[in-house]
């Protein structure tokens, strides 16, 4: 996502094992909404898989959320792709119940980016960490190189017909909406708009997802940048049509999952 695209919407951003130690970082949680509600397994599975193109779903690894433990592997795949529904955004130091972003990663993203999601999910599930403690822990780990940048080009498919996300790239804005924006994200570690020769306020592609000015500090390059490629209107319409049943199930489960807008021509 780009600051431009992220101003329209904010996507979420996990190794295959838990890699954190929360005991020395966190105090007892005092907020009442820290624990997530468990989504129905079938619904969460289908929602997670919707991030991937249909031909990759059958052999992909699926992660689901256990509110008491965090992410766990519900189905081990064989094609290197992983998918999950991100329900906590560490950049925003708050816990919400209504965030849900289907995300997938190839093998490189599963190794280098997914660990953050796994650790954040586990820290929240522990009940011992405040949102700010989680944010500070992730930032400290990024700065010291504990979380690694992708070592090669790769892709995150985000073809889901709906995601409920923050509507701005700025954590000071905590508005959330359910939107339909199928797109692809290509890993672009440390890339900036200056490198692209583009003013970050431009509304023209290419779009760069770059939240690091708000998280790592102004002028600091981050390891988890993405170049965004939105699907065209025809492709988006096909995804929305094929996802009608899933959208109905989601809306029946939680009315706030009703899609409020479609932004098929833009990106984070």
Highest mean pLDDT among 72-76, 139-143, 164-168, 233-237: 72-76
Q: Are 28 and 127 in contact (CB under 8 A)?
A: yes
Residue 268 lies in a domain: no
pLDDT of residue 123: 97
Residue 202 lies in a domain: yes
Structural domain harbouring 149: 3-262
Q: Are 13 and 224 in contact (CB under 8 A)?
A: yes
Highest mean pLDDT among 76-85, 86-95, 168-177: 76-85
Q: Are 119 and 55 in contact (CB under 8 A)?
A: no
Q: Are 111 and 89 in contact (CB under 8 A)?
A: no
Residue 267 lies in a domain: no
Residue 76 lies in a domain: yes
pLDDT of residue 218: 60
Residue 26 lies in a domain: yes
Rounded Cα distance between 180 and 161, Å, is 5
DSSP string, 72-131: EEEE--SSS-EEEEE---TTSSS--SS-BEEEEE-HHHHHHTHHHHHHHHHHHHHT---H
- How many domains are there within the chain? 1
pLDDT at residue 168 is higher than 90: no
Residue 74 lies in a domain: yes
pLDDT at residue 15 is higher than 90: no
pLDDT of residue 198: 82
């Amino acid at each position: 996502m780009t600051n431009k695209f992220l101003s329209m919407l904010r996507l979420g951003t996990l190794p295959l094992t838990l890699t954190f130690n929360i005991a020395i970082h966190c105090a007892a949680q005092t907020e009442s909404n820290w624990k997530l509600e468990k989504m129905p397994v079938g619904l969460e599975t289908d929602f997670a898989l919707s991030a991937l193109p249909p031909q990759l779903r059958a052999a992909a690894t699926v992660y689901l959320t256990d509110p008491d433990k965090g992410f766990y592997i519900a189905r081990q795949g064989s094609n290197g792709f992983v998918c999950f529904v991100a329900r906590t955004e560490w950049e925003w130091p708050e816990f919400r119940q209504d965030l849900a972003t289907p995300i997938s990663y190839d093998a490189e993203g599963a190794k280098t980016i997914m660990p953050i999601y796994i650790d954040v999910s586990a820290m929240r599930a522990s009940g011992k960490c405040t949102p700010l403690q989680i944010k500070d822990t992730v930032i400290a780990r990024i700065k010291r190189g504990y979380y690694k940048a992708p070592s090669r080009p790769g892709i995150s498919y985000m073809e889901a017909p709906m995601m409920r996300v923050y509507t701005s790239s700025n954590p000071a804005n905590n508005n959330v909406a359910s939107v339909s924006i199928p797109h692809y994200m290509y890993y672009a570690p440390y890339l900036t708009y200056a490198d692209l020769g583009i003013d970050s306020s431009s509304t023209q592609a290419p779009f760069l997802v770059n939240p690091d000015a708000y998280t790592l500090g102004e002028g600091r390059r981050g390891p988890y940048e993405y170049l965004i490629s939105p699907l065209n209107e025809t492709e988006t319409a096909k995804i929305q049509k094929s996802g009608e049943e899933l959208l109905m199930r989601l809306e029946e489960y939680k009315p706030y999952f009703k899609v409020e807008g479609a932004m098929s021509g833009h990106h984070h």
